[in-house]
Structure 1
Amino acid sequence: MLTNAGVPVESEAEHSAPDPARPTLFCFSHLRWDFVFQRPQHLMSRFAREMSVIFWEEPIEIDRRETAYLKVRQADDFPNVRIATPHLPQGQNEARREDALRRLLDAHAASCSRPIVAWYYTPMMLPFSRHLDASTVVYDCMDELSKFRFAPEQLLDLEQELIGRADLVFTGGASLYEAKKNRHPSVHCFPSSVDRDHFAKARRELSQPADQAELKHPRLGFYGVIDERFDIDLLRQAADMRPNWSFVMVGPVVKIGEDELPRAANIHYLGGKTYEQLPAYLSGWDVALMPFAMNESTQFISPTKTPEYLAGGKPVVSTPVRDVVRTYGHLQGVHIASDADGFVRCCEKALEQSREGGDWLAEADLILSATSWATTQARMSGLIAEVLGERASQTASALLVAAE
């Protein structure tokens, strides 16, 4: 147990002096690093090549008799990403929790190199971090969190404050961009991208995972978080209409009860898998699915899995999510349906494409060639560098005036 400024810090990361040539990026995230490898992980792992990244997670509760502490560990395979997880005694009121989080943050930030970039995925972490001496504040709005189940009442007010403090606002899709573009002078649309090489592995015959290998074809699969955005009724109806199809659901179940999930002999829930495992599962499917419910929680989503499925060489069947329709709906390999009958008919067309091939995949590849996480991160980095350059110029001017 280490102690810095009187605050306990438990660290599993290798200790080294801060590199003064590398800025520090504090990423405040409501999604844990090890939950699902998606936008935050793609971007932070790439920013770590030029900055020291601190990935600040939601607190974990400990016994009320224990003292608050910060556990810091190095992310597997990413040496410049450190995951900071606060541990707070249970039963504290909000004011005490925020005070404890503020002290833990201050103690950790004291040893970090400057300048600091504060990057937010959630406005809910603003109360304990708004005082941080950040040279640049970024709000990367990847979801409209206020529309999600169990959203805190104060979220919208805190988001407005965060937008007011931010130097840059990024959005995870076109619909979010339209919703935010008039609320800040520097809003930039960065839709979900894809690591093409990683998912292109699925175009080869890969060794099948044990829990999928015995499932009969045709296999129609989904991977991702199964939550209130997932249309469980659509899955139930489709499985009932086509009992000879195997519906493969890969991913953790969150915010909905296991008893709410449809159960049938041809629906298979395989649980969460790592990012590295996904191509193997995808390679064994005939069609990739996106059965999202059309409700408030999906109004602004831009699913990362759309380009991932296509990169893996699978035709896609989706409900009419707005950003999917406008970006990919014109492609031969992407089929859109709003009800169970239409969804099943689209799956039949996609199965035919999967068997017979055609030019649909070449068309998809042309679209995918224009996007990558590396390009997205590089463009974001350029915008941050502009802000940091302006701050440095302002500081130098102020010092010059003070010296006169």
Structure 2
Amino acid sequence: MNILFFGVHYWDGPWFRKQQFAKRLSDRGHKVFYVEESVSIIRRNKSDRNLPFKTTMRKENDNLYIITPSAIFPYPLNYFTRSLYNLKLLNDSKRFFKRLNVSDFHFWFTRPEHGTFLKKINGLKIFDLCDDLPGYSKLAGDEKSYRQQMRFLTRAFKKSDVQIVSAIRIKEKYQSLSSKEVIVIPNGHSINQNSKYDTYIPPELSEIKKPIIGFIGTLFQFTDDTLLEYIVSHRPQYNFVFVGGVEDSFPIEKIKKYSNVYLLGKRPQNEIGSYIRAFDVCLNTFKIHDVNDSVNPVKVFEYVANKRHVISTMMYSLMKEKIADHITFAKNYDEFLVKLDKSLEKDKANNVPDELIKEYHWDNLFESLIKKLKNVHNLEF
């Protein structure tokens, strides 16, 4: 079958569930057309691959094509402009289809605002919601954005044929928007079971004194900066290493000023495992709020798959997962610090069973999804 897959993330950027599922669909013999992110022509950098007003497509292999949308002006911020832009993307994609003699296709989309043209799709419409986007807007106090996101979300749930979510809390919040059973498939990891025993240590880490407390991923507005400063300042004998980007919304100066903080920046995806394995303890420091309960952070599954001890703030959906038995959760800052200390007294390796690690590998999560599509919706993929 042919699948138009609106994935948002750039194909060769950091991989999330969108790329993981799209690749595995193509591996099963389906022809997948993966649509990347777009940017505003005003904010476009010279290094951005999005060309002004020109959508492009490249071939990865016989079953996988990557569509890069044009940079546009203005960037769609409301329902009307977003709908027009979606139609442009749909028409651009159909032009590529025509060249390849593709007529029928199914539509797989991952953000609520992608669903404005569902009536124009004759094939199956599959919606995989990875984040509680209305919740983020509400938390930020942006009532206008919240109403707009709920309009997008309601339409996506009501007009799609299949709804998938990444966390149990998202299902609990929005199941009422659909007459069909919402499927829950959590996030996972792509760690090779044999590679977790690799003893290679990145040279820049070998120069940092133990113990090393590590954080993988982007520091952004929903990362608890106050918690990070609290533990960094109260444990000067520990070194804290951050691997990943920093968004403007995160007050990096709050932790950057400490001599026991190392900001290494982004690293290639295939090297992340080596950094995690060099950490003595790993951190998951989301701010505690309602949206936090709807998140299953990919980083946590990567930590545990590499058999590291993990200290996390309280996260409802994550605590509902089987893997939660191998994560240490803290209710407040003082408890976080105490549990961090105790984790360093344990053996470095987390004793999580290999079978449980395999269960959360993207290969097995995808197979679980395929089975649920068959059992719940009688669909063959």
Normalising by structure 1, report the TM-score.
Answer: 0.79
- The match for 1:73 is 58
- Residue 88 of structure 1, aligned match among 71, 92, 111: 71
What is the Cα deviation at residue 233 of structure 1? 0.9
- Contact in 2 for aligned 1:222/1:249 (Cα 8 Å): yes
- The one-letter amino acid paired with 1:80 is N
* 2:199 paired with 1:205: yes
Sort the Cα spacing of 1:330 and 1:124 in 2 relative to 1 into closer, same or farther, 3 A. Answer: closer
Which residue does the alignment assign to 1:235? 228
Shift of 1:274: 2.6
Structure 2 equivalent of residue 272 of structure 1: 266
Which aligned pairs between 1:187-336 and structure 2 lie closer than 5 A?
187-197=182-192, 201-206=195-200, 208-254=201-247, 256-257=249-250, 259=252, 261-263=254-256, 264-327=258-321, 331=325, 333-336=326-329
Amino acid at match of 1:194: H
Structure 2 letter corresponding to 1:133 = I
Q: For residue 217 of structure 1, report the CA deviation from its aligned partner.
A: 0.8
Partner residue of 1:25?
3
TM superposition shift of 1:368: 2.6
Residue 321 of structure 2: SS of its match in structure 1? helix
Q: Which moved more, 1:79-88 or 1:38-47?
A: 79-88
- Structure 1's unaligned 5+ residue stretches are 1-22, 392-404
Between 1:96-105 and 1:299-308, the stretch displaced more is 96-105
Residue number in structure 1 paired with 2:48: none
Residues 4-403 of structure 1: pairs in structure 2 closer than 5 A: 23-49=1-27, 50-62=29-41, 68-75=53-60, 80-91=63-74, 94=81, 97-98=85-86, 100-110=88-98, 111=100, 113=102, 115-127=104-116, 129-148=117-136, 152=145, 153-184=147-178, 185-197=180-192, 201-206=195-200, 208-254=201-247, 256-257=249-250, 259=252, 261-263=254-256, 264-327=258-321, 331=325, 333-355=326-348, 361=351, 363-382=352-371, 384=373
Conserved 8 A contact 1:167-1:387: no
Aligned equivalent of 1:3: none
Q: Does the Cα contact within 8 Å between 1:68 and 1:88 map onto a contact in 2? A: yes
Structure ID, larger Rg: 1
**1:257, distance to aligned residue in structure 2 (A):** 4.6
Tell me how far 1:301 sits from its aligned partner: 0.3
C-alpha distance in structure 1 between counterparts of 2:250 and 2:228, whole Å: 16
Q: In structure 1, what residue type is equivalent to 2:25?
A: F
Aligned partner of residue 34 in structure 2, secondary structure: strand
Q: Secondary structure at the match of 2:286?
A: coil
Deviation at 1:221, TM superposition (A): 0.7
Calculate percent identity across the aligned residue pairs: 20
Deviation at 1:147, TM superposition (A): 2.3
Q: Counterparts of 2:364 and 2:154 in 1: how far apart (Å)?
A: 29
Distance across 1 between alignment mates of 2:66 and 2:379: 29
Q: How many residues align?
A: 358
Question: SS of the counterpart of 1:53?
Answer: strand
Q: What's the counterpart of residue 19 of structure 1?
A: none
SS at match of 1:148: helix
Output the CA distance in 1 between the equivalents of 2:70 and 2:220. 26
Pick closer, same or farther for the CA change 1:88–1:195 going to 2, 3 Å: closer
Deviation at 1:364, TM superposition (A): 4.1
Aligned to 1:14: none
Query: 1:370-403: per-residue Cα shift (whole Å, max 9, x none)?
Result: 3332222223334556899779xxxxxxxxxxxx
Displacement of 1:83 after TM fit?
2.0
* Secondary structure at the counterpart of residue 70 of structure 2: strand
- Which deviations, in whole Å up to 9, do the C-alpha atoms of 1:87-140 show, x marking residues without a partner? 13434772764554343233234346354221111021223x435434211111
Note the residue ranges of structure 2 that are not aligned, 5 or more in a row. 44-50
